[in-house]
Chain A
Amino acid sequence: MAKTISFTYKEKDYLLEFTNKTVKQMSLNGFRVGDLEDNPIVALPDLFAGAFLAHHRYVKRELIDEIYTNMTDKEALLANLGEMYAEPIKALTDEPEDESKKVMWEVIG
């Protein structure tokens, strides 16, 4: 199961998630992962807004920005959103786990 974020704002429940479709839409709108490092002030609210596309497509940007302003623990929130955004791309391209290449480790002492 892909990661999701849920919260309630003004008595309405929200579920934030990224799908291939929303990741594509964000990419078409010009969102780039690199922007999170280069221009975080613009990119982070965009990432947050993009997470609404899967289940709350018709929520207005003003409301999303308002919610974003009121969100607590933004650093953890954005770290999770970043991981969630990366999940579809990772799932799309990463190789299945190769047992023979796994490095096993153990704690001694």
Chain B
Amino acid sequence: MGSDRIDHFPESETKEEPVHELLDRLCPEYMAMGMTYDEYWNGDPMAMRDYRKAYKIKTKNDNFLLWLQGMYIYEAIIDIAPILIPFAKNPRVQPYPKQPYDLYPEDKKRTKEQEEIERDKKNQAFVKAWVQKINQKKGETK
């Protein structure tokens, strides 16, 4: 009876650790991921999956930001490196970049293209209106 049903259960309970201990043990870990105590114990259990996924994304983003920061520091050191060389003649220091890296150059390219298309459309509309005006004037004189 219902043996197929049993197959759906996770292995966690068949191992040594009882479910209540597993739930107690993992509570602080989920709280570290941003879940509240109430959400963990009384909320929709499916939210735990989303919290885990969100935490993974957040960690990935944090890692990228740390890498980016390292990149800025690395480049800054390279830029000032000439003055760190003893007895160098006229060491030239590169100024710190005025703007941060452009993280989405594709978007910029796209907006430029869009601007060009819009400009063309405006020009075409202007020429059309001008031609119409001339034609109207010709009609009136006839």
- Is chain B a partner of chain A in the same complex? yes
Q: Is the CB of A1 within 8 A of B2?
A: no
Question: Which of B1, B13, B46, B52 is in CB contact (< 8 Å) with A1?
Answer: B46
Distance from A17 Cβ to chain B, minimum over Cβ atoms (Å): 9
* 8 Å CB interface, B1-25 against A: 1-3, 5-6, 8-10, 12-14, 18-20, 22-24
Chain B interface category by residue count: 20 to 34
B98 within 8 Å of A by Cβ?
no
Q: Are B8 and A23 in contact (CB under 8 A)?
A: no
Residues on B with beta carbons closer than 8 Å to the beta carbon of A87: 45-46
**Which of A18, A27, A28, A75 contacts B45, CB < 8 Å?**
A18
Q: Is B89 positioned at the interface, with any CB of A under 8 Å from its CB?
A: no
A71 to chain B, nearest CB (A): 15
B49 at the interface (CB under 8 A from A): yes
Q: Which chain A residue lies CB-closest to B26?
A: A92
Most buried by B among A37, A90, A92, A96: A92
Q: Is A36 an interface residue (CB 8 A)?
A: yes
Contact A86 B42 (CB under 8 A): no
Assembled-state Cα–Cα distance A79/B24 (Å): 27
Which A66-109 residues have C-beta < 8 A from chain B? 75, 78-79, 82-83, 86-94, 96
Residues A96 and B6 in contact, CB atoms below 8 Å apart:
no
Instruction: Judge whether A93 and B6 touch: CB under 8 Å.
Output: no
Interface class of chain A by DSSP: helix
B43 within 8 A of A: yes
| Most interface-central of A20, A25, A75, A91 (chain B CB within 10 A) | A20
Interface on B for A, CB 8 Å cutoff? 1-3, 5-6, 8-10, 12-14, 18-20, 22-24, 26, 40-46, 48-49, 52-53, 56
Can you show 9 pairs from A to B with CB atoms below 8 A apart? A2-B44, A28-B20, A37-B3, A89-B12, A91-B48, A92-B12, A92-B22, A93-B12, A96-B53
Q: Chain A interface (Cβ within 8 Å of chain B)?
A: 1-2, 18-21, 23-25, 27-28, 32-34, 36-37, 40, 54, 75, 78-79, 82-83, 86-94, 96
Cβ-closest 3 pairs across A and B:
A88-B45, A27-B20, A27-B19
